[in-house]
Amino acid sequence: EGLASLCMDLVTEGTEKLAKVAFEEAKADLASDVGSYASADQQGVSMSSLTKNLDATLDLWADSILHPGLRQEDFDRLVKDRLEGLAQTKAAAPSIASRLARSIVWGAAHPLGRVVTEQSTQSLTLADCKRYVAASLKPQDAKLYAVGDLTRAQLEEKIGKRLAKLVGKQKQSAKMGVAEPRKGRVFFVDVPGAPQSIVYFLGTGPARQAKDYFPTTIMASILG
């Protein structure tokens, strides 16, 4: 647990040519941003730029995809940050409840029900991330989203020449399987001396592709 998130964050911590500080300075000089992420159902490398600085920003973006630095010191810092974040999570009732809710709805063994822990985070290595990134950053089956003052022809020309050497198919996504909710109706997490308490009333909703997904989302917002 936590492998994809950690390793994808590491992708834009610098390139082979630019260490972390130099990479951040290069982005700042352009007033641009290059970032990477992994969520429950997608992962990617993103960028934003002033139109006049698009080419220079695309150079940084493409270099992050083709030649990420993946340095040990950056990996160690990200692990430390996550461990500190987990400690903060355990000190706040809302975050404790949120972590528990996923395992209740989906089941503790389901990919969407598992949670990142100190043990799972500390078990990861830089070698794990190098393997993960090498298997994940492939063009086949990937999608490109672009918004801005440019045409499709310009985009294909600018992206195509920068990522010409990027080939291959990314590893197959994990199969989610059906939800296996935990048995029980009421769940308690006892936090002695906690200054705050929280109560969740929850259940499964419509599938993301269902016609009533957005109406249900609006209803839930109004209800809350």
Per-residue pLDDT tens digits for 22-48: 999 999 999 999 999 999 888 999 999
pTM of the shown model: 0.88
Cα separation, 76 vs 100, whole angstroms: 27
Do residues 53 and 29 make contact, with C-beta atoms less than 8 angstroms apart? no
Rounded Cα–Cα distance for residues 125 and 6 (Å): 10
The H or E element that residue 117 is part of is: none
- Does 70 score more than 80 pLDDT? yes
How confident is the model over 173-212, as pLDDT tens digits? 778 888 899 999 999 999 888 888 999 888 888 988 999 9
pLDDT of residue 87: 92
In 3D space, the residue among 45, 16, 44, 47 whose CA is nearest the CA of residue 31 turns out to be 47
E strands present in 49-129:
none
Cα 14 to Cα 144: distance, rounded to the nearest angstrom: 22
Rounded distance between C-alpha atoms, residue 142 and residue 169, angstroms = 9
> Which tokens in the block code for residue 155?
């985009």
* pLDDT score for 163: 95
Contact between 187 and 104 under an 8 Å Cβ cutoff? The reply is yes
Closest CA to 116 of 73, 92, 87: 87
pLDDT tens column, 92-134 = 888 899 888 989 999 988 988 999 999 999 999 999 999 999 9
| 75 within 8 A of 3, measured Cβ to Cβ | no
Given a cut of 80, is residue 13 above it in pLDDT? yes
Distance CA 153, CA 160 (A): 10
Which pLDDT score, from 0 to 100, does residue 148 have?
92
Tell me the C-alpha distance between 214 and 175, whole Å.
25
Q: Which of 116, 57, 113 is nearest to 85 (CA)?
A: 116
Percent of the chain as helix, strand, coil, to the nearest 5: 45, 5, 45
CA distance 42 to 103: 20
